[in-house]
Structure 1
């Protein structure tokens, strides 16, 4: 099927690391705005937002390695989201972009954070927008706003945390609505707030199905252990890049210059939240996963509090950030509440221009 909306162009851009697929809006010039997608998706999810961006901006969206049309290079998880962050830097360099407005969704938000943290004086961010970003303490297996490991091994995070039937359906290219674990149904139940159905639903399902699967990609490797919840993260593949033993952004205070940050999230997000349906500790607390050790040993991860703590530290060091919670929205506020999302983004971009 045709996956590009009218007005969207696709190209493959050779970089120092690989060849990356990049979307743009035909004929648009101005300050570049580079959109970075989340896990089990691709740049295709950004198309409606790109087309709606105000004049004076040049919308771009990149496919991360192993997603969409970018080269499926293997993912080394031992330095967190570093492969993706380095790829992002390489794309910015290859395109010759001036200071760029970075917009990262979910895992893509973590990619942007690691890109910044590893290049405090060399980043090219004119502004940053984090859309339902993964916690700076990683996904799963941590407690408190400081992100203390519930188990030193990082148990409860990484490649073993995914539903195997979902992976099988993803690998098989399942486009059906026959099961709650089909990509289509996961999108409708978790990416957006039900009963919203995106007009571009079929395109977004194709985007999800572009995800490479396996040990080097999604979900990655893991090992079984006898203690709850029965697995520890491996060192390869997508989900392990966000395991708290590999990914941790402790501070953005050293950034110079300090771009303004907008944190956008949906109030009804079930993926990145303090009551995440993907957090085994929260699932254990509601009886959905047996054997939960209890709140003293393994409380649900306070994902929002952890992000807020990082950004509060950024503000204390002289940076600026704003948190905007979009009502009646799920994990993708740019999808199910596009008007509110676009208004907040446009205001943020305009404000960054005036600095």
Structure 2
């Protein structure tokens, strides 16, 4: 398939399903000497306080060598070891405030996902997700003690009770629901005007993914799902979710918006084709009236495309 999204997005069973942008090289995370030796020639993604990456004047990723940034990755996991690329080169992430390096500009992750090569955007997403987790887990959730980071930045250990904390990823389902002829879409109040998307929601404790699909669709729209099938997944680092994409068959129930949506309704194939033709924000010939779909970098838009191509549960 043609990969429309940069965040390691792959179909179930695709040849690339077991390949990531980087070899995470877990074997090296406990080897401080090996990480220090890799640092001088490693590429370092520098993130500012807002989680934006340093970029050059043209908006491309600016990832200097470690030797240009500092003498080493720093103690207590200051520099997060991201992994090794296909050529064996190491990649780290570091808060820009700790680096003796400056760049002309910065770029946010959503913009980078749309503009950068998939590799650069994927590594940026990994770095941003790690930064978010570390900044929000500086104190132990068990006793409140201060957390220090180890294992290349991937383990937080409480200095008081020695409880260990690891990066978390929140699983969420995202589903293209059809009654056989129409596609069910919803919109949230916080979204840009006219933006519509397929439905999504977080997995709750004790649920299977299939149960989550049925519950979320019923809660958000009142529509009953008969069956569903997994298609693909996409890390969604805003800030740290894993989107698990499904297609579902549902009863042709009247759609109504639940508490989380401003509106929910069924769209015909012609409606969806027209929305797709408008682009993400409406084109030059747009009348400013019809719906527009979710961004092309998202698994949401890919699921809509699969439905248009005839994918069914």
Interval containing the TM-score (normalised by the shorter chain): under 0.3
With a CA cutoff of 8 Å and minimum separation of 6, indicate the structure with the bigger relative contact order.
1
State the TM-score, normalized to the length of structure 2.
0.25
- TM superposition score normalised by structure 1: 0.23
Higher strand share: 2
Which entry has the higher C-alpha Rg, 1 or 2? 2
